[in-house]
Amino acid sequence: MIPLSYFLVFAAALFCIGLYGVLARKNAIAILMGIELMLNAVVINLVAFWRFRSPESITGQAFGVIVFAVAAAEVAVGLALFISIFRRRNSIAADEIDLLKW
Amino acid sequence: MEPSILVWLLPVPPILAFFLIIFLTNRSKSLSHILAITATFLSFIGSMVIVTLAIRSGHLGEEPFTSVLNWFPTGDTWFQIGVWVDPLTVATLFFVAITILVIIFYSVGYQNYGQPKGDHDQPGLPPHGATVEDEQGHKHRVPSIEPMYSRFFAFLSLFAFGMYVLVISNNLLTLFVGWEIMGLCSYLLIGFWYAKPSARAAAIKAFLTTRVGDVVMLLGLAYLYSLAGSLSYDVIFSEETLAMLTSTSAPIFGVSAAVLIGLFLFFGTVGKSAQFPLHVWLPDAMEGPTPVSAMIHAATMVSAGVYLVVRVFPIISAGMHHGEPTLTMNVMAFIGAFTGLFAATIAVAQNDIKRVLAFSTISQLGYMIAAIGIGAYVAAAFHLFTHAFFKALLFLGSGSVIHGVEHGVLHTGEEIDPQDMFNMGGLRKKMPFTFWTFLIGGLALSGFPFLSAGFWSKDEILADAFAHANWPVLIVLAFAALLTAFYTMRQITLTFLGQARTESAGHAVESKWTMVLPLVVLAVFAVVAGWPGIPEDFPVIGGFIPNFVHEFVGETLAELPETIAFHWVPLVISLVVSLGGLALGWWVYRGLPVGAQDPLEKLLGPVYKLLQNKYYFDELYDYIFVRPAYWLASTFTYLWMDRTIIDGFLHFVARIIFSLGGILRNYIDKPVINGFGDFVGESVKRIGRSGRFIQTGRVQQYMVMALVIAFGTLFYYLFFLSQP
Amino acid sequence: MTVMHVVFLITAVVSLGGAVMVVTARNLIHAALWLILTLFGVAVMYGLLSATFFTVVQVVIYIGAIAILMIFAIMLTRRVRQEPGSNVNKGWWLAGLIALLLFTSLVWMLSSWPGFQTTLQELPQDFDSIQVLGTALVSPEGYVIPFEIASVLLLAALIGAVVVAWERKS
């Protein structure tokens, strides 16, 4: 019915939108949102492949679970970082955090 | 021990003394003279032992004491040097050892050992006296000790070493070494008071003049070595070598090699023994202290010249046919006789007590050389032997006289030359020992009959000349003997007899025992030394003792020289000239008052001036040789060659290099090399400066760039590389 | 065109539209809310893929924890004054270009892959994915080790976050 290609295209689109958000947005939390979109796209890909290609082995889902966990951890740490940076510099615009420039 | 080993040790104490004095005991005056005297005494003892052993050995002529060792390798063989003691060596050693010891002992007193240091004495100038206060507070000026005391003894020791080396050597090369060492010491000692310009000039003059002789002598040695292959006496005086030398024809002058070698070696003697034309240095050498004059210029160094010709007599006389003298001998006879007369005429007009003796030495050496020239080998050696004693005695005596008069000068404060005989007189009463010993020496020099050594040796020469019917030589030598006696008596009369002509002479004082004892010793020898040479057929006296000199010294030659038969004529001639000359000298100069002119001046007129200025030879040589040499040195060599050509060339090269350096620096180094270096650095900086803008610090831009490059690479890979 | 298709289409449009709004919204709170919508859409997708566990987890964890956390962070990092200027940086067009490029290349590459058009297979009736997943996550022959390591990771993240965000009393 719904071929694999639909899901894959959908995931690709989501991924690319997330990529645009990562590369283009100034606010660090907005970048993080973009990252979340990309991660979600990845998990959709994983689950789709599991469902269509090898539903008998649960590996796909296990992988996806782990990715969830990692995503959650990453968000937590990232937001903690942003808060800490905001406290110091009163701004979390990515183009203002440029201390490592020349 | 073996006599030849002892002979090797003879020069060792003096050279050790030299080094010890200059390195260790230079500051201590007493240690220095103790070292010098001990060293010469040891050599003296050694020499006497050798002499005794030699005389006792009986046939020293055929079997001299020898010992050789290898010195340096010459191809397959070694050049050997060694010692050689034959009768001639023994005779020479005898007088050399005694005179050196006596003179060094004398120097202790002469250099005023024990006297206080002078007021203004500087090293390099003669001592000028010290002021001492006695108990009453009177200030006296007394002679002061020589500031360079130790140095003097060091040089004398070195000199003794040189003489011993010359005498005992068995080959002409080490003889030459000793010759040159003595030349060096002569220079050092004539210029002992180096702060005096006249002394410096005299030292250089002595060295250069003898050098002229030495160079020619060296040429002779080289030629001899090239022909004979060796310079050892046993080789060069052997029959084969002599025959070879006479038969080989020399490349120049068209004479045989023996003649040429003889002439060249003789020329060395002309320099060293101050014969005409190289006589000019000896009078000036009187600038040195009197012991130096005694040792070097009377007893030993100038004798070395005569020793040389006596030693190489076999070469000089090689080719003699039936008593016909060779060319060399004729040349020697001419120069010797000429010099004898020439110097005697000059001595007559000299006023300085030491100058008279200097010219007298030149004259007597001329005698000896003339004796060799006529073939009187034994007579020449005999005269050498006796002359050393009485000439040393005369010089030491004159030193004593000068000291006495200087004492008077210091006492009275007069400004006179203490060496001028016209400022002396009447010293007989003030300085008796000096007077009597000087008189004995003077009589010996004049050939006073029977009692003095000089008579026997001079008489022998005249007898020899007569026997060979050599009239020119006989007449010239006889006339010279007359003049010798004349000027000797002139000297004695002016100095000792009559009344004192100056206050200083009136206050003269006899010298200390350290100076008088040597005079006495030498006076004894001046009398006694002639007795071993009394001819056996001399009337009355002859025959008591054998003619030891003739027998012993004559053994040196391959065949014993013939004994000259006694004849009345030469004896009469001797007596007449010596006694007549003495009487004449006394008669002309007796009682010469103060400030009087020399009677000879009136008599000879302008000739006197000529004689007094030594025939203007010094001025002539100055004009011919010295001035051109200076011009050559200062203008030609220094100014033209050195400054202009060589320095000019160097400056030119330097300028080229400078400009080359400048070019390289400004056109290559700075722009290219520096520029390139700077360019590289600058480019890197510029690249860096422009490239660093990549690092904006903004993470998103980094990611964008990464993705762009990743895509680029991917597309490139997909579309361009993987095409089949 | 079945029901499935329609559902899929609507969900896809909602999700992608929400995603676009997330990355373009000026107001960050709006962006966060749009993110929540997108995550809901994704949850529905999981449902369509019969990964029911994921649906629930998505809603609970992603929306319930992560998105809320983001909202908290947005509030904590607000400036008093609203920042003027654009909400994208200077090179946004390049980012868009890249995103587009990436999308087209992905789709193109995937479309040349033969398994692109695989269709759904029927799952067995008694397939209980949750139980299978659960067993797999704790069985030693399964994925217990990644599971445990993930928990360690979470612990580390927890500690890290606390430490980083700790306010230093200076």
- Cα Rg of chain A, angstroms: 17
Closest CB to B692 among A24, A98, A102: A102
Chain A: closest CA distance from residue B703 (Å): 7
B630-675 residue pLDDT tens = 888 888 777 778 888 888 889 999 999 999 989 888 888 888 888 8
Residues of B in contact with A22 (CB under 8 A): 700, 703
Chain B, nearest residue to A25 by Cα: B700
Inter-chain contact C94–B708, Cβ cutoff 8 Å? Answer: yes
Residues of B in contact with A102 (CB under 8 A): 692-693, 695-697
Two structure tokens written together for B327? 């060319």
Residues of B in contact with A24 (CB under 8 A): 700
Least confident of B255-259, B327-331, B412-416, B539-543: B539-543
For the whole prediction, is pTM greater than 0.90? no
Chain B: closest CA distance from residue C90 (Å): 9
Contact in structure between A81 and B681 (CB atoms under 8 Å): no
* Cβ neighbours of residue B196 closer than 8 Å, sequence gap 6 or more: B124, B125, B126, B287
Touching subunits for chain B (3+ Cβ pairs under 8 A): A, C
Residues of B in contact with A99 (CB under 8 A): 697
Q: Is residue C106 part of a domain?
A: no
Interior/surface letters B124-151, b for 16+ CB within 10 angstroms, e for the rest: ebbbebbeeeeeeeeeebebbbbbbbbb
Counted across chains A and C, CB pairs separated by less than 8 A come out at: 247
* Cβ neighbours of residue B531 closer than 8 Å, sequence gap 6 or more: B453, B456, B545
Chain B, nearest residue to A95 by Cα: B698
Q: Is residue C135 part of a domain?
A: no
User: Given CB atoms, is A61 within the 8 Å cutoff of chain C?
Assistant: yes
* Cβ neighbours of residue B460 closer than 8 Å, sequence gap 6 or more: B376, B378, B379, B382, B383, B533, B535, B564
Over chain B, what is the mean pLDDT? 85
- Does pLDDT of B435 surpass 70? yes
> Residue ranges of chain A with pLDDT lower than 50?
none
Kindly list the distances between the CA atom of residue B498 and the CA atoms of B353, B424, B430, in Å, as whole numbers in the listed order: 17, 10, 12
For residues C91 and B526, what is the distance between their CA atoms, to the nearest angstrom?
Answer: 132
Inter-chain contact A83–C77, Cβ cutoff 8 Å? Answer: yes
Least confident of B60-69, B203-212, B375-384: B60-69
Least confident of B44-48, B245-249, B327-331, B381-385: B245-249
Position B449 scores a pLDDT of 82
H helix or E strand, kind and range, residue B130: strand B130-133
CATH of A4-89, one of 1.10.10.10, 1.10.3470.10, 1.10.287.3510, 3.40.50.740: 1.10.287.3510
What's the pLDDT band for B339 if we cut at 50, 70, 90? very high
- Does pLDDT of B548 surpass 60? yes
Would you tell me the crossing angle of helices A28-53 and C3-24 to the nearest 10 degrees?
160
Distance between start and end Cα atoms, chain A: 56
Interface test with B, best of C101, C104, C106, C112 (most B CBs within 10 A): C101
Top pLDDT among B255 and B267 is at B267
Domain assignment of residue C157, given as a range: 140-170
For residues C77 and B550, what is the distance between their CA atoms, to the nearest angstrom?
Answer: 141
Inter-chain contact B704–C95, Cβ cutoff 8 Å? Answer: yes
Determine the average pLDDT of the residues in B441-455: 84
Identify which of C116, B371, B433 has the alpha carbon closest to the alpha carbon of residue A7: C116
Position C36 scores a pLDDT of 95
Residues of B in contact with C93 (CB under 8 A): none
Chain B, nearest residue to A93 by Cα: B698
Inter-chain contact C154–A69, Cβ cutoff 8 Å? Answer: yes
| Residue C114: how many other CB atoms lie within 10 Å | 6
Contact in structure between B382 and B306 (CB atoms under 8 Å): no
Output phi, psi for C119, to 5 deg. Answer: -105, 165
Q: Is residue C110 part of a domain?
A: no
Closest CB to B701 among C91, C102, C105: C91
Q: Is residue C93 part of a domain?
A: no
Residues of A in contact with B693 (CB under 8 A): 102
| Residue C60: how many other CB atoms lie within 10 Å | 11
Contact in structure between B62 and B43 (CB atoms under 8 Å): no
| Residue B669: how many other CB atoms lie within 10 Å | 13
Total tally of structural domains belonging to chain C: 2
Residues of B in contact with C101 (CB under 8 A): 711
Position A43 scores a pLDDT of 95
Interface test with C, best of B701, B703, B709 (most C CBs within 10 A): B701
B420-434 residue pLDDT tens = 888 888 888 888 889
Position B179 scores a pLDDT of 93
* Cβ neighbours of residue B210 closer than 8 Å, sequence gap 6 or more: B183, B186, B271, B272, B278, B281
Chain B: closest CA distance from residue A17 (Å): 14
Q: What percent of chain B has pLDDT over 70?
A: 96
User: Given CB atoms, is C112 within the 8 Å cutoff of chain B?
Assistant: no
Chain A, nearest residue to B699 by Cα: A94
Inter-chain contact B698–C89, Cβ cutoff 8 Å? Answer: yes
Determine the average pLDDT of the residues in B461-465: 85
For residues B115 and B410, what is the distance between their CA atoms, to the nearest angstrom?
Answer: 14
Strand, helix or coil for residue B540 = coil
Chain A: closest CA distance from residue B700 (Å): 5
Chain B: closest CA distance from residue A88 (Å): 17
**Token pair 């690479």 is at which residue?**
B713
For residues B260 and B223, what is the distance between their CA atoms, to the nearest angstrom?
Answer: 9
| CA B201 to chain CA centroid, nearest Å | 15
Counted across chains B and C, CB pairs separated by less than 8 A come out at: 19
Q: What single-letter amino acid sits at C19? A: A
Under DSSP, the state recorded for B716 is I
Contact in structure between B362 and B209 (CB atoms under 8 Å): no
B281-313 residue pLDDT tens = 998 888 888 898 888 877 788 889 999 998 888
Position B471 scores a pLDDT of 83
Contact in structure between B88 and B28 (CB atoms under 8 Å): no
Chain A, nearest residue to B691 by Cα: A102
- Does pLDDT of B694 surpass 90? no
Identify which of B567, B528, B371 has the alpha carbon closest to the alpha carbon of residue B440: B528
Identify which of B570, B79, A66, B586 has the alpha carbon closest to the alpha carbon of residue C150: A66
Residues of C in contact with A23 (CB under 8 A): 91-92, 94-95, 98-99
**Token pair 């001036």 is at which residue?**
B609
Cis? peptide before B73, omega within 30° of 0: no
Position B96 scores a pLDDT of 92
Inter-chain contact B704–C102, Cβ cutoff 8 Å? Answer: no
Measure the CA angle with vertex B711, ends B710 and B717; round to 5°: 90
User: Given CB atoms, is C106 within the 8 Å cutoff of chain B?
Assistant: no
Position A19 scores a pLDDT of 94
Position B544 scores a pLDDT of 65
- Does pLDDT of B180 surpass 60? yes
Top pLDDT among B67 and A46 is at A46
Position C125 scores a pLDDT of 65
Strand, helix or coil for residue B126 = coil
Find the farthest-apart pair of alpha carbons in chain A and give their distance in angstroms, rounded.
56
Closest CB to C136 among A1, A26, A58: A58
Inter-chain contact B711–C95, Cβ cutoff 8 Å? Answer: no
Under DSSP, the state recorded for B561 is P
Output phi, psi for B130, to 5 deg. Answer: -120, 155
- Does pLDDT of B60 surpass 60? yes
- Does pLDDT of C127 surpass 80? no
Contact in structure between B400 and B516 (CB atoms under 8 Å): yes
Q: Is residue C111 part of a domain?
A: no
User: Given CB atoms, is A97 within the 8 Å cutoff of chain C?
Assistant: no
Contact residues, C window 40-99, toward B, CB-based 8 Å cutoff: 89, 91, 94-95, 98
| Residue C35: how many other CB atoms lie within 10 Å | 30
- Does pLDDT of B262 surpass 80? yes
For residues B257 and B372, what is the distance between their CA atoms, to the nearest angstrom?
Answer: 19
Query: What are the extents of the domains in chain A?
Result: 4-89
Closest CB to A80 among C94, C129, C161: C161
DSSP chain C: --HHHHHHHHHHHHHHHHHHHHHH-SSHHHHHHHHHHHHHHHHHHHHHTT-HHHHHHIIIIIIIIIIHHHHHHHHHT--SSPP-S-SB-TTHHHHHHHHHHHHHHHHHHHHTSGGGG----PPPTT--HHHHHHHHHHSTTTTHHHHHHHHHHHHHHHHHHHHHHPPP--
Inter-chain contact B700–A100, Cβ cutoff 8 Å? Answer: no
Determine the average pLDDT of the residues in B492-505: 83
- Does pLDDT of B724 surpass 60? no
Contact in structure between B378 and B457 (CB atoms under 8 Å): no
H helix or E strand, kind and range, residue B68: strand B65-74
Chain B: closest CA distance from residue C144 (Å): 35
Determine the average pLDDT of the residues in B348-361: 90
C67-120 residue pLDDT tens = 999 999 988 888 766 666 667 777 788 899 999 999 998 998 888 887 777 777
Inter-chain contact A52–C70, Cβ cutoff 8 Å? Answer: no
Least confident of A3-7, B182-186, B194-198, B409-413: B409-413
Inter-chain contact A72–C61, Cβ cutoff 8 Å? Answer: yes
**What's the per-residue H, E or C state across chain A?**
CCCHHHHHHHHHHHHHHHHHHHHHECEHHHHHHHHHHHHHHHHHHHHHHHHHHCCCCCHHHHHHHHHHHHHHHHHHHHHHHHHHHHHHHCCCECCCCCCCCC
Chain C: closest CA distance from residue A102 (Å): 19
Q: Is residue C44 part of a domain?
A: yes
Determine the average pLDDT of the residues in B61-69: 75
Touching subunits for chain A (3+ Cβ pairs under 8 A): B, C
User: Given CB atoms, is A87 within the 8 Å cutoff of chain C?
Assistant: yes
Contact in structure between B306 and B391 (CB atoms under 8 Å): no
Strand, helix or coil for residue B140 = strand
Least confident of B20-29, B259-268, B379-388, C110-119: C110-119
Kindly list the distances between the CA atom of residue A60 and the CA atoms of A45, C87, C130, in Å, as whole numbers in the listed order: 9, 37, 13
Strand, helix or coil for residue B73 = strand
Two structure tokens written together for C115? 């398994």
- Cα Rg of chain B, angstroms: 37
Q: What single-letter amino acid sits at B75? A: G
Chain C: closest CA distance from residue B711 (Å): 8
For residues B64 and B53, what is the distance between their CA atoms, to the nearest angstrom?
Answer: 11
- Does pLDDT of B549 surpass 60? yes
Inter-chain contact B707–A95, Cβ cutoff 8 Å? Answer: no
| CATH code: domain of residue C50 | 1.20.120.1200
What's the pLDDT band for B214 if we cut at 50, 70, 90? very high
Strand, helix or coil for residue B321 = strand
Chain B: closest CA distance from residue C102 (Å): 8
Contact in structure between B608 and B598 (CB atoms under 8 Å): yes
Least confident of A28-32, B378-382, B390-394: B378-382
Position B552 scores a pLDDT of 74
What's the pLDDT band for B61 if we cut at 50, 70, 90? low
B334 - beta bridge partners?
none
